[in-house]
Structure 1
Amino acid sequence: MSYALITGAAKGIGKAIAAQLAERNYNLLLVDIDEAALAATAEELSARYHVHAHTLHQDLSAPGALQRVTGWTSPYHELLSVVVNNAGYGINGPFEQLTLAEQFNIIDVNIKAQVGLSYAYIPVLRQFPRAYLLNLASTTAYQTVPYLNIYASTKAFALSFTRGLRYELRHSGISVSALSPGSTDTDFVNRARMGEYTRNVANRFNMTAEKVAKIAVDGLFKGKAEIIPGFTNKLNAWLPKFFPKAFVEKIAAGIYEPKEKAGEVALSA
C-alpha cells in the first residue's frame, strides 16, 4: 500500500484528513507537536482502518525539524505518494501586544515549514505517475484580517505559493492543491480563550473537521487547484474582492478584535 504524510495530524482537520486517507487504504506517516494526542490518533486509525500508522513527535518550528522529518520518512519514500502540509496556527490579538517571538514562530510553522517540506518531498513525489501535495491555506487568505494579522498573512502566502507551485509542476505527475477551510468545529475556540461574541460568530458557520476533510481529499484526488469546503466559505473567499478593502477590513476586525484578551488560535492543527 502507498503511504501518506500528514503534519498537524493529532487532531482536528489533520486527523480527519488522515482518516480519509486511511479509509482509502493509505498507510500513514503522522507528525504533530502533541505527542499524546498523536499516539492516540495513530492507534485509533490503525485499529479502525487496518493500516500502518507511524508517528513522529515534532515541533516544525524547531531548528533541524525539516531534516528530522525527512530522515524519519526516508524508509518509506518508495511508497510515499501523498504529502499534506496541514500543520499551522495563529494568534488572535493586536500585533503590537503580541510578542515578536511568537509571531515569528507562526511564520516558521505556517510558511517556512510548508515551503521546506514541499521542497523536500517534490523529488519523492516525482517518482510516481500520479502523486499529490496538499497545502493548507484558509478563507482568511482572501482578505486582510486585523487582530488575526500574521495568521491571515501567512495563509495568503500559502495560497499564492501553492498556486505558483502548481503551475510550475503542471507537466509533472504531481497534482498540487490548496485547502482553504473556514470556521471548523475543533477545540481552537477553547484553546484561544476567545470572547463570547467571536465564539457565537464562529458557531454559526462551523463545519465539522470530518466534512472538511472529505471535501479536501475528494478535491485533492480530483486535481483541484483550490478546495474551499462549504458554500458559505466560498462566498467568504470570493465576495471580498467586490467590496472596498476598508469595508472588508472593518467587518473582519469587528469579528476578531479581542473584547477581553488575546489568546492563541490553533486554527488548523
Structure 2
Amino acid sequence: MSQAKSYALITGASKGIGKSIAFEFAKKGYPLLLIARSGEELKALSQDLQLNYSINAPFLSIDLSEKEASLKVTNWIKMNNYPVGFLVNNAGYGVWGDFSKSSLSDQLGMMQLNMNVVVELSHLLVPILSQQKQAYILNISSTAAYQAVPTLAVYSATKAFVLSFTRALRYELAQTSISVTCFSPGPVDTGFASRAGLDALGKMAEKFNMQPDEVAKMAVKAMFNKKSEVIPGFINFISVYANRILPKAFIEKTAAGIYKI
C-alpha cells in the first residue's frame, strides 16, 4: 500500500525535527528519501523505519552545504525514478556570537545551507513535484524570522529569507498542484543550541522548549491542511505578535539581553 504513495524527501533527517518528521510520514505509510551528512545515523534510521513501518526509506549521505550538492540529490532521485510528492526543507543550523568576531566561513556556510539549498532544491524539484496530482513543500523556518536577533544576526536573517521566499513561492504556485507551507517553531529540544554555541542558555531554554515529536506532528498536519504559515505554541505565537506591535528597538534590545555574550 505504501509504495503506491509518493515519496517524501526530508533534508536534515538524521536527528531533531527532521528525524521526527520522518517518523510522522512513516506512520502515515509514506515512503521516504532521507538526506543528511551523517551516514551511520541515516542508515540506522532507514532500517528502523523500514522494519517498523514496512515502508521504503532509502537514504543519501551528503553535505548539502557543498557545491552542487542539491543537483546531486536531484540526479539521485531521477536515476532511481523516485516519485517525489513532498519536499521538506528542514536542514539548517545557527552560529551564535558577535558577528564581527565570528568565523566568516561559518557564517557563509550557514547561509548556504539555510537559504541557498532551500532555493536550489525547490527550483530543481518543482518539475518533479508537479508530476503528482497533489504535492507539498514544507519549509522549516523559525520564530527568529520575525525579528532581528543580535548575536544571531545572520541566522535570524536566513530564517527571515526562508519565510519571505516561502510566502512568495506559495503565491506563485497557487494555481498548481503544489501547496507550500512555512513552519516557524521557537526553541525545540534538539542539538541546535549546542551546535550554535548556546550551551549557556540550556537551563533557561528547558522551560520553553517544545519536543521534536510534538513539533513534527504539528508541522506535518499544517502541511497536509495546506496552511500558509504556522507558528506552533501559544508563547511563540504571542512573541511573534508582540514583534508586530512593539517598537523594533525594544524587541532587539530584549533579544540582545537574552542572547548576550
TM-score, normalised by the number of residues in structure 2: 0.95
Q: Which residue of 1 aligns with 2:235?
A: 232
C-alpha RMSD of matched pairs (Å): 1.3
Instruction: Name which of 201, 204, 208 aligns with 1:205.
Output: 208
Instruction: Confirm or deny: 8 A CA contact 1:128 1:173 kept in the other structure.
Output: yes
Instruction: Confirm or deny: 8 A CA contact 1:142 1:238 kept in the other structure.
Output: no
The question of 1:138 aligning with 2:159 is answered no
The question of 1:80 aligning with 2:88 is answered no
User: What is the distance in 2 between the residues matched to 1:189 and 1:60?
Assistant: 20
Deviations 1:204-235 (A, max 9, x none): 11110000000000010000001211111111
User: What is the distance in 2 between the residues matched to 1:161 and 1:46?
Assistant: 34
Q: How many residue pairs align between the two structures?
A: 257
Instruction: Confirm or deny: 8 A CA contact 1:90 1:106 kept in the other structure.
Output: yes
By how many angstroms is 1:75 displaced? Answer: 4.1
Paired residue secondary structure (2:22) = helix
By how many angstroms is 1:255 displaced? Answer: 1.4
User: What is the distance in 1 between the residues matched to 2:43 and 2:238?
Assistant: 37
User: What is the distance in 1 between the residues matched to 2:117 and 2:80?
Assistant: 20
By how many angstroms is 1:201 displaced? Answer: 2.6
Instruction: Name which of 240, 246, 249 aligns with 1:243.
Output: 246
User: What is the distance in 2 between the residues matched to 1:230 and 1:47?
Assistant: 33
Change (3 A) 1:78 1:53: closer
Q: Give, as a single letter, the amino acid of the residue that structure 2 aligns with 1:217.
A: V
User: What is the distance in 2 between the residues matched to 1:31 and 1:78?
Assistant: 14
Instruction: Name which of 2, 5, 13 aligns with 1:9.
Output: 13
Instruction: Confirm or deny: 8 A CA contact 1:7 1:85 kept in the other structure.
Output: yes
User: What is the distance in 1 between the residues matched to 2:147 and 2:182?
Assistant: 16
User: What is the distance in 1 between the residues matched to 2:168 and 2:229?
Assistant: 12
TM-score, normalised by the number of residues in structure 1: 0.92
Q: Which residue of 2 aligns with 1:120?
A: 124
By how many angstroms is 1:77 displaced? Answer: 4.8
